[in-house]
Amino acid sequence: MNDETRKRTSGIDRALQVMDILTERQTPMSAYELAKSVGAPVSTIYRIVDDLVEREVLSRADETRIWLGPRLMRYGLVYRSQMNMFAEARREMLALSKRTGETVQVCARDDGMMVVIAMAEGEGHFRVTSYVGTRVPLNWTASGRLLLGHLPDAERLAAFRKSARSSQTGIAETDPETLAQQSRDDYLQRLALQTGNSEYSVACIAAPIRDPDGVCVSTMSIVLPEQRVFERLEELTGEVQRAAEAVERALGRRAA
């Protein structure tokens, strides 16, 4: 690899780091803040930001702060339109929310994080802070555990060793071995339950959406107030599992 190729690769890596930081923080940031976050010289980040703004990959939120640009939305919409799983999952998500009156989310894995990729809000005044695009560590959520459940034991354990973090509520399990076993158990029973791990007084009932090879590609989850979960646990457990299975059938997976 020659020097020019190394420089070009480094520039691509820096650009991706900038976009990853903005996505993770979900707020506009200054070039100085971005440089500190990615550990790069401010002059390098200024140059990258200028190039990406010119190409509409980034945009200027105001005179000093940078935000994601409209070109990313075009890419994302085209990519998402080709995802049969997403289209089927969204349809089932909307139907499930209508049947139950509860908030329903579809979540996927982004390396060591769980990300909300679709959401239908339920009836009433209950609101959650995890909207579309929210990323949290895998060990904080029922969905996060399911998303690793199909992996071999060693890979599952290594993933939790790398990604497990303490939650803001202090309730989320952080021991990798405990998480690895719980993840496998949840996957095998096609159900995971959490209460208060990432948000106080918020519960989640999740089921895996598996492809024909058994890989958990996403999850279907019902999010509701903690005090209501046990009143409707049996009903909602069946509902969320049936919705996830409907998506699996559309993906070509046969019933076990």
CATH number at residue 48: 1.10.10.10
The boundaries of the domain holding residue 69 are 3-74
Region of 124 on the Ramachandran plot (φ > 0 left; ψ -120 to 50 alpha; else beta): left
CB atoms within 10 A of CB 76: 11
Last residue of a domain, one of 74, 93, 125: 74
Asked if residue 137 belongs to a domain, the reply is yes
For residue 123, how far is the Cα from the chain centroid? 23
Q: What percent of the chain has pLDDT over 90?
A: 62
Last residue of a domain, one of 74, 108, 124: 74
User: In which band, very low, low, confident or very high, does the pLDDT at 1 lie, cut at 50, 70 and 90?
Assistant: very low
42 and 133 co-located in one domain? no
User: In which band, very low, low, confident or very high, does the pLDDT at 5 lie, cut at 50, 70 and 90?
Assistant: very low
- What is the three-class DSSP state of 110? strand
157 and 209 co-located in one domain? yes
pLDDT of residue 79: 67
For residue range 121-133, what is the model confidence (pLDDT) as tens digits?
888 766 676 778 8
For residue 62, how far is the Cα from the chain centroid? 28
Q: How many CA atoms lie within 13 A of 44 on its CB side?
A: 17
111 and 143 co-located in one domain? yes
Asked if residue 91 belongs to a domain, the reply is yes
93 and 63 co-located in one domain? no
CB atoms within 10 A of CB 52: 20
Domain containing residue 199: CATH number: 3.30.450.40
pLDDT of residue 230: 84
Show the tokens assigned to 68. Answer: 């994601």
Structural domain total, the chain: 2
pLDDT of residue 134: 87
* pTM for the structure as a whole: 0.70
116 and 193 co-located in one domain? yes
Sign of CA dihedral 146, 148, 152, 157: negative
CB atoms within 10 A of CB 122: 19
For residue range 190-223, what is the model confidence (pLDDT) as tens digits?
999 988 655 567 889 999 999 888 999 999 999 9
CA dihedral 46, 52, 56, 62 (to 10 degrees): -10
163 and 194 co-located in one domain? yes
Asked if residue 224 belongs to a domain, the reply is yes
pLDDT of residue 69: 92
Beta bridge partners of 193: 205
Asked if residue 195 belongs to a domain, the reply is yes
